[in-house]
Amino acid sequence: MSGGGLLVAGTTSDAGKSVVTAGICRWLVRQGVKVAPFKGQNMSLNSFVTREGAEIGRAQAMQAQAARVEPRALMNPVLLKPGSDRSSQVVLMGKPVGELSARGYHGGRQESLLGTVLECLEELRGTYDAVICEGAGSPAEINLRRTDIVNMGIARAARLPVVVVGDIDRGGVFASFFGTVALLSPEDQALIAGFLVNKFRGDVSLLEPGLDMLEQLTGRRTFGVLPYRHGLGIDEEDGLRVSLRGAVRESTVAPPVGEDVLRVAVCAVPLMSNFTDVDALAAEPGVVVRFVDRAEELVDADLVVVPGTRGTVRALEWLRERGLAAAIARRAAEGRPVLGICGGFQVLGEHIDDEVESRAGHVQGLGLLPVRVRFAKEKTLTRPSGTALGEHVEGYEIHHGVADVMGGEPFLDGCRVGDVWGTHWHGSLESDGFRRAFLREVARAAGRRFTPAPDTSFSALREEQLDLLGDLIEEHADTSALLRLIETGAPSGLPFLAPGAPS
């Protein structure tokens, strides 16, 4: 097999495209197939830095891990990072090239990027046996079809077969499948090979009559029914979800009590980015992580995390408006642990000069760390490593803010004052020895008897999750049919049958 491909589209955003793509990648690589993931255009605030210093969507980095290959800029040539409801930073081949409104992007810039996207895909197809592409949103967004470079636009140009994923747990999956195909042009319909049902609960035999009727209506088969699985803590584009061990909880859920439990509250700031940083905390037995947006929810927390954000000044205003800033300041005065990561680190400093992200100029920070931040036009994209708390640490940096650290105890690239910590390093808590050392410090300051488990390996847990995704595909999808699709390319002219339901 050489240069095969498949596009995994979805009936909606969050239908499961990212995890299905990862599952297919892991299943293929276990069969000895050299495979790579690809997403022509991604919109996400969760991103990653490759070893070449390129910023790509974190979901594509996760899919590369599923495929057991090194993440590359080629795998996600266009990344959009929202800064508001109407504009995004455009990251092209791993580097920011400017801010564009939605109208400006879809009005011309997106279409001009199709050549770059196709060149990247062709380079991957020339290197790997198979490339599994992930779509975005729905291919039936007909208002955007003319400029599409991630769904049917790329499928048409590269002659890729398309499998449409639908989340049956939401309801309406049959209508979504039918409507998706019905709204496409005949030329696009010809590329739709069939469907994958995701997140099914119950007896599959009860679903089969509906699948048969769907095939009669559309002329397309269903390639598998994937069961619902709890605790899949796999990196997706955006949106809070249950983490590796199901420990990420909504703010309405009270954490358990006990001297051997550590409770972590993560401030759900606007434009939150890389909330995956706390996955490694949630992976630790006895650590409960929840996202909060009210000051009273910090009262019983042993550690408060202010995470990264695409809008540092906006996040600072939000913290003040909700009383969270005052609550965090009280914690610091009482010697109770606070950790700021990237934008959260900048918020904890003395002041911010921002003529780049918010253009707000000089803004006072929370003043909990002796740090002054100036926003630069050039974005820092690095993969640093070092030592902290006597342990080796690795991470990655994605930020415009340049921090001038004027005191405190050195901590990675930032500093520590008492039990207030700040760093730009995303992913540092994935380093097992460092994470355990940090949690011991938190437990000491919080007066807890919590002791980190000595054998928790975040990377091993992530591998288990990726293997589980591979198992879902292997055990519940028609893998022989999927492999034929990947090898032979787009189906030839499948008809869309009459829009009348069978009796």
Give the pLDDT confidence score for residue 481 in this predicted structure.
96
Amino acid identity for residue 44 in this structure? S
Residue 161 CA from chain centroid, whole number: 25
pLDDT at 248 over 90: no
Give the pLDDT confidence score for residue 240 in this predicted structure.
43
Lowest average pLDDT, out of 98-112, 344-358, 459-473, goes to 98-112
Read off the pLDDT of residues 172-203 as tens digits, 9 standing for 90 and up.
Answer: 999 999 999 999 999 999 999 999 999 999 99
- What is the distance between the alpha carbons of residues 115 and 122, in angstroms, rounded to a whole number? 10
Read off the pLDDT of residues 127-149 as tens digits, 9 standing for 90 and up.
Answer: 999 999 999 999 999 999 999 99
Domains of the chain, CATH where assigned: 4-233+463-486 (3.40.50.300), 261-450 (3.40.50.880)
Give the pLDDT confidence score for residue 252 in this predicted structure.
36
Residue with tokens 């439990």: 261
- The better pLDDT of the pair 245, 479 is held by 479
Q: Residues 375, 376, 381, 384: what is their CA dihedral angle, to the nearest 10 degrees?
A: -70
- What is the distance between the alpha carbons of residues 125 and 181, in angstroms, rounded to a whole number? 27
Q: How many Å is the Cα radius of gyration of the chain?
A: 23
- What is the distance between the alpha carbons of residues 304 and 267, in angstroms, rounded to a whole number? 7
**Burial status of residue 343 (CB atoms within 10 A of its CB: 0-12, 13-18, 19 or more):** buried
The residues carrying an active-site annotation are 342, 426
Ranges of H-type helices in 295-407: 312-321, 324-333, 343-347
Q: What is the mean pLDDT of the chain?
A: 91
**Confidence label for 102 from pLDDT (cuts 50, 70 and 90):** low
Residue with tokens 């002659």: 159
pLDDT at 500 over 60: no
Lowest average pLDDT, out of 12-21, 364-373, 490-499, goes to 490-499
Q: β-pairing, 95-101 with 130-134?
A: unpaired
* Neighbour tally for 399: CB within 10 Å: 23
Distances (CA, A) of 168 to 24, 212, 243: 19, 16, 21
- What is the distance between the alpha carbons of residues 480 and 174, in angstroms, rounded to a whole number? 24
Give the pLDDT confidence score for residue 494 in this predicted structure.
73
Residue with tokens 């992913």: 427
HEC per residue, 334-348: CCCCEEEECHHHHHC
Stretch 84-102: mean pLDDT, rounded? 85
Give the pLDDT confidence score for residue 107 in this predicted structure.
60
Give the pLDDT confidence score for residue 235 in this predicted structure.
59
- Residue 496: DSSP 8-state: P
Percent of the chain surpassing pLDDT 90: 84
Stretch 386-406: mean pLDDT, rounded? 97
Residue with tokens 């930032």: 414
Give the pLDDT confidence score for residue 199 in this predicted structure.
95
Stretch 150-179: mean pLDDT, rounded? 96
> Could you tell me if 17 and 8 are in contact, meaning their C-beta atoms sit under 8 angstroms apart?
yes
- Residue 371: DSSP 8-state: E
Read off the pLDDT of residues 341-363 as tens digits, 9 standing for 90 and up.
Answer: 999 999 999 999 999 988 999 99
Q: Which helix (H) or strand (E) holds 58?
A: helix 58-66
